[in-house]
């Protein structure tokens, strides 16, 4: 991929592609029993599907922290007609995680009294996200998935499927993920959470009738983007280039207050953009879920595993995928771990077609 | 250094040591001409000294972004009686950078009308910080420093001394620093700045008569601490340990809202602590100065250089020190670059006595 293409990727990450339209559908669960003991009532699971179900060709795709059910859009490098997850051959399903804000029940949803949950929304775990997907699987009549897969937070859900429900998971592909967050990963999430919690508009989470804590959410998202790229990706894209306003390069002296580096402009754009489509409470709930998740063993699992990682991903470094691979081998499972040498940082799992695609075709070949 | 000692270091970073007391003195400058063209009037330079001046034994120590003139406290691993910068032999001087908030003129200082500058404080550059130190040198009657040194932002000041005023700098030691910030370094500072700028209490910088933007400043500082450690330092110190409240380990389930990982508690402590001693406007001014600094050549310099870097420092990675070393060699200067293999991340320059000390003794040996 050229720098030009990478640039386009980075800036268009948020845009919704029209190439693979899929209607947003909803599955209802009367009562969802959470690990915490709390029962969540009248739960909605928003999901999308691509392709046709033929009995043993269903693939469940799990999204990352800022993702949604429109997998063919955010994972267009992997999912689509003729692609590694070929929608001409496979029946592809992706649901919005509970706790989120893209159709599934989350803090901004209405509770039994018809009021938005806000601070009364319960803690959610990765295990709970998967239990919700179990309900969805039953609703769709899918007893066994050909594959459950995902990157980053999506990878944790895929691990939890293979750990807890391996009879329903033939293949499990986990990319750029971890069995449990390290202190540094928790630290990055915590600073993003604090940006929200310390925003004066947060009001303990009950801000829906007032101004939303958009400043804090934007800062949290900017921090996320810092952690998704690598030093070399930042450098090849932005270096110390100055922002060009209105098509005219500003040739004035760099010490003037109003000068901006392109990297500054990029981060602010990403932060602003995110606040238009994401709810701060959902970020708190979902980021806490992944920080607290820990898979200590895959003992008893019968799934076949593929782990992929990226040499430049310092947020989910390769040794975390290696650890998962060793966990799978110790459990007597078939497993492959491929460490992919690409310079794009954590975002590589969204950008790479070639290496993940090759490993995936091998995994899914009969 | 054992984990226990590292732990003590990390938590005591902010504490002021009593081992090397030194009175805070002030040097006044009637008019300081800034690079921007603005003239700053009635400028105060706060500084401290250790040891006795004997004519050719003066060492100027430049502090990092959150530092101050009390160098014997924050750099106790390097400065003191019998240490690498031996206060029994050398006359050690450290001044608070202009734009700061520890005694030197900055945004919280009174302007000519007796009102705190706030948003009217001008942009400052690293070059301006050094010009202020030139005034201080003249005030102290020091024509030539035996050494000018510093880490991180302090290293940039040392570079600027050796670039612009090398006749006054015999030796220049730059540790964990860079000739110019990369896009990623600028990105980290920009997110911290945005945390402040998007705080409702910021009021465009004119908050001194109101609530300070402490939430934003705390988040910015937490982000700083994330970038100062390495993944392995975080892991050996915090791993996934839970916070123990009131001496009693909380054995409750991890999904409860009030549970905290130690890394979360550590970052919040650091953030809170910082707001008690640092001004948000100073952070904006000084972080912008270092982002905009760029030394493109050391041509014409006659100083002798030592560059040190740390293999685990991903904020100021080793290749940036290597680049400085190559710049010095191209300029025909004597130069040494030592890449030190320690696991502490960027903070290593504050924590290491052994390797920096050895290199420094060699540099300063007659």
DSSP assigned state of A253: -
pLDDT at A6: 43
Of B180, B183, B262, which is closest to A238 when you measure between CB atoms?
B183
Tell me, yes or no, whether A105 lies in a domain. yes
**Using CA atoms, how far apart are residues B321 and A142, in angstroms rounded to an integer?**
57
In total, the C-beta contacts within 8 angstroms joining chain A to chain B are: 156
| Residue A139 and residue A22 share a domain | yes
pLDDT at B258: 61
Catalytic (active site) residue B171:
no
DSSP element (H, E) containing B266: helix B262-275
pLDDT at A85: 98
User: Smallest Cα–Cα separation from B172: which of B79, B301, B67, B350?
Assistant: B301
The nearest alpha carbon in chain B to A285 belongs to B257
The CATH number linked to B326 is: 3.40.50.1820
Helices (H) and strands (E) in chain B, counts: 12, 12
Catalytic (active site) residue B69:
no
At which of A246, A261, A284 does a domain end?
A284
pLDDT at A366: 76
| Residue A251 and residue A208 share a domain | yes
CB contact under 8 A, A261 and B235: no
Residues of B in contact with A345 (CB under 8 A): none
Residue A250 has pLDDT above 50, yes or no: no
Q: What is the pLDDT of residues A189-198, one digit of tens each?
A: 999 999 999 9
Helix B3-12, helix B262-275: angle, nearest 10: 30
CB contact under 8 A, B186 and A268: no
CB contact under 8 A, B198 and A180: no
**Nearest-CA distance A182 → chain B (Å):** 6
Residue B154 has pLDDT above 70, yes or no: yes
pLDDT at A21: 79
User: Smallest Cα–Cα separation from B160: which of B130, B125, B134?
Assistant: B130
Kindly give the residue spans of alpha helices, DSSP state H, lying in B165-243: 183-197, 214-228, 231-237
**Nearest-CA distance A230 → chain B (Å):** 8
Out of B95, B152, B227, B335, the active site residue is B152
Out of A318, A346, A347, A352, the active site residue is A346
Residue B244 has pLDDT above 80, yes or no: no
CB contact under 8 A, B263 and A35: no
The nearest alpha carbon in chain A to B266 belongs to A187
Is pLDDT larger for residue A239 or for residue A259?
Answer: A239
Range of weakest confidence among A20-34, A336-350, B239-253, B282-296: B239-253
CB contact under 8 A, A195 and B219: yes
CB contact under 8 A, B231 and A317: yes
Q: ipTM surpassing 0.95, yes or no?
A: no
Residues of B in contact with A119 (CB under 8 A): none
CB contact under 8 A, B234 and A188: no
Query: Which phi and psi (to 5°) does residue A308 adopt?
Result: -125, 145
A41 CB burial (10 A radius; 0-12, 13-18, 19+): exposed
Mean pLDDT of chain B: 92
Q: What is the mean pLDDT of residues B159-183?
A: 98
Q: How confident is the model at residue A246 (pLDDT cuts 50, 70, 90)?
A: low
**Nearest-CA distance B172 → chain A (Å):** 26
The nearest alpha carbon in chain A to B320 belongs to A231
**Using CA atoms, how far apart are residues A31 and A34, in angstroms rounded to an integer?**
9
CB contact under 8 A, B267 and A190: yes
Range of weakest confidence among A51-55, A210-214, B8-12, B318-322: B8-12
Is pLDDT larger for residue A107 or for residue A256?
Answer: A107
Mutation target to probe the A interface, by most A beta carbons within 10 A, among B38, B129, B183, B213 is B183
pLDDT at B186: 97
Q: What is the pLDDT of residues A291-320, one digit of tens each?
A: 999 999 999 999 999 999 999 999 999 999
Tell me, yes or no, whether A291 lies in a domain. no
pLDDT at B21: 79
| Residue A195 and residue A176 share a domain | no
Residue A24 has pLDDT above 70, yes or no: yes
Range of the structural domain that residue A142 is part of: 15-180+296-364
Range of weakest confidence among A205-209, A325-329, B167-171, B252-256: B252-256
What are the distances in angstroms from CA B42 to CA A144, B106, B227, B290?
77, 11, 36, 24
CB contact under 8 A, A240 and B186: yes
CB contact under 8 A, A187 and B256: no
Of B36, B181, B261, which is closest to A186 when you measure between CB atoms?
B261
Tell me, yes or no, whether A123 lies in a domain. yes
| Residue A195 and residue A170 share a domain | no
CB contact under 8 A, A263 and B218: no
Out of B68, B128, B199, B313, the active site residue is B313
User: Smallest Cα–Cα separation from A195: which of B203, B212, B192, B49?
Assistant: B192
| Residue A69 and residue A33 share a domain | yes
**Nearest-CA distance B104 → chain A (Å):** 20
**Using CA atoms, how far apart are residues B121 and B106, in angstroms rounded to an integer?**
7
Of B190, B222, B257, which is closest to A264 when you measure between CB atoms?
B190
| Residue A345 and residue A250 share a domain | no
Read off the tokens for A74.
Answer: 């955010």
pLDDT at A247: 52
Of A123, A186, A268, which is closest to B194 when you measure between CB atoms?
A268
Catalytic (active site) residue B63:
no
pLDDT at A310: 98
Tell me, yes or no, whether A289 lies in a domain. no
| Residue A68 and residue A168 share a domain | yes
**Nearest-CA distance A195 → chain B (Å):** 6
Out of A152, A166, A318, A335, the active site residue is A152
User: Smallest Cα–Cα separation from B128: which of B102, B149, B108, B156?
Assistant: B156
pLDDT at A11: 41
Read off the tokens for B43.
Answer: 């400028």
Q: What is the pLDDT of residues B228-238, one digit of tens each?
A: 999 999 999 99
pLDDT at A257: 53
Residues contacting A171, CB < 8 A, separation 6+? A146, A147, A148, A149, A303, A304, A305, A306, A363, A364
Residues of B in contact with A262 (CB under 8 A): 183
User: Smallest Cα–Cα separation from B132: which of B40, B56, B65?
Assistant: B40
Out of B166, B312, B346, B352, the active site residue is B346
Tell me, yes or no, whether A303 lies in a domain. yes
Q: What is the mean pLDDT of residues B334-338?
A: 98
Residues of A in contact with B258 (CB under 8 A): none
Read off the tokens for A149.
Answer: 């897969």
CB contact under 8 A, B198 and A182: no
The proportion of chain B whose per-residue pLDDT surpasses 90, expressed as a percent, equals 89
Read off the tokens for B224.
Answer: 């700083």
Read out DSSP for A92-150? EEEEPPTTSSSSSS-TTSB-TTSSB-GGGSPP--HHHHHHHHHHHHHHHT-SSEEEEEE
| Residue A165 and residue A38 share a domain | yes
Residues of A in contact with B285 (CB under 8 A): none
SS3 A265: helix
The proportion of chain A whose per-residue pLDDT surpasses 90, expressed as a percent, equals 89
Tell me, yes or no, whether A10 lies in a domain. no
Cα dihedral sign, A289-A291-A296-A298: positive
The CATH number linked to A253 is: 1.10.1740.110
CB contact under 8 A, B317 and A231: yes
**Nearest-CA distance A10 → chain B (Å):** 15
What are the distances in angstroms from CA B344 to CA A56, A160, B338?
50, 33, 16
Domain count, chain A: 2
Residues of B in contact with A268 (CB under 8 A): 190, 194
Q: What is the pLDDT of residues B257-276, one digit of tens each?
A: 567 899 999 999 999 999 99
| Residue A307 and residue A236 share a domain | no
CB contact under 8 A, A194 and B235: no
Of B186, B218, B223, which is closest to A261 when you measure between CB atoms?
B186
Q: How confident is the model at residue B20 (pLDDT cuts 50, 70, 90)?
A: low
| Residue A346 and residue A258 share a domain | no
Q: What is the mean pLDDT of residues B126-145?
A: 98
**Using CA atoms, how far apart are residues B163 and B152, in angstroms rounded to an integer?**
17
């Amino acid at each position: 991929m050229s720098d030009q293409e990478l640039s386009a990727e980075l800036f268009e990450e948020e845009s919704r592609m029209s190439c693979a339209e899929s209607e947003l559908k909803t599955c209802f669960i009367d009562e969802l029993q959470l690990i915490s003991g709390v029962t969540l009532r009248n739960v909605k699971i928003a999901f999308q599907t691509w392709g046709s179900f033929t009995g043993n060709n269903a693939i469940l795709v799990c999204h990352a922290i800022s993702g949604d059910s429109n997998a063919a859009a955010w994972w267009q490098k992997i999912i689509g007609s003729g692609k590694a997850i070929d929608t001409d051959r496979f029946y592809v399903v992706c649901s919005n995680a509970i706790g989120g804000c893209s159709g599934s029940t989350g803090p901004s949803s209405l509770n039994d009294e018809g009021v938005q949950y806000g601070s009364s929304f319960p803690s959610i775990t990765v295990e709970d996200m998967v239990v919700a997907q179990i309900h969805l699987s039953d609703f769709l009549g899918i007893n066994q998935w050909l594959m459950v897969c995902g990157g980053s937070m999506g990878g944790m859900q895929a691990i939890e499927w293979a750990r807890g429900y391996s009879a329903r998971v033939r293949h499990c592909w986990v990319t750029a993920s971890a069995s449990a967050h390290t202190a540094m990963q928790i630290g990055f999430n915590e600073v993003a959470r604090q940006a929200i919690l310390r925003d004066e508009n947060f009001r303990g989470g009950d801000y829906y009738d007032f101004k939303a804590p958009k400043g804090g959410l934007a800062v949290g998202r900017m921090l996320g983007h810092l952690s998704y790229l690598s030093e070399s990706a930042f450098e090849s894209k932005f270096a110390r280039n100055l922002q060009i306003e209105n098509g005219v390069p500003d040739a004035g002296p760099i010490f003037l207050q109003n000068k901006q580096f392109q990297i500054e402009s990029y981060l602010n754009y990403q932060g602003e953009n995110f606040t238009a489509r994401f709810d701060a409470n959902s970020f708190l709930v979902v980021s806490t879920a992944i920080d607290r998740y820990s898979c200590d063993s895959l003992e008893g699992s019968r799934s076949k595993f593929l782990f992929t990682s990226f040499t430049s991903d310092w947020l989910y470094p390769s040794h975390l995928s290696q650890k998962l691979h060793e966990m799978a081998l110790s459990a007597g499972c078939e497993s492959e771990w491929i460490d992919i040498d690409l310079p794009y940082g954590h975002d590589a799992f969204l950008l790479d077609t070639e290496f993940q695609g090759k490993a995936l075709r091998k995994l899914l070949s009969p």
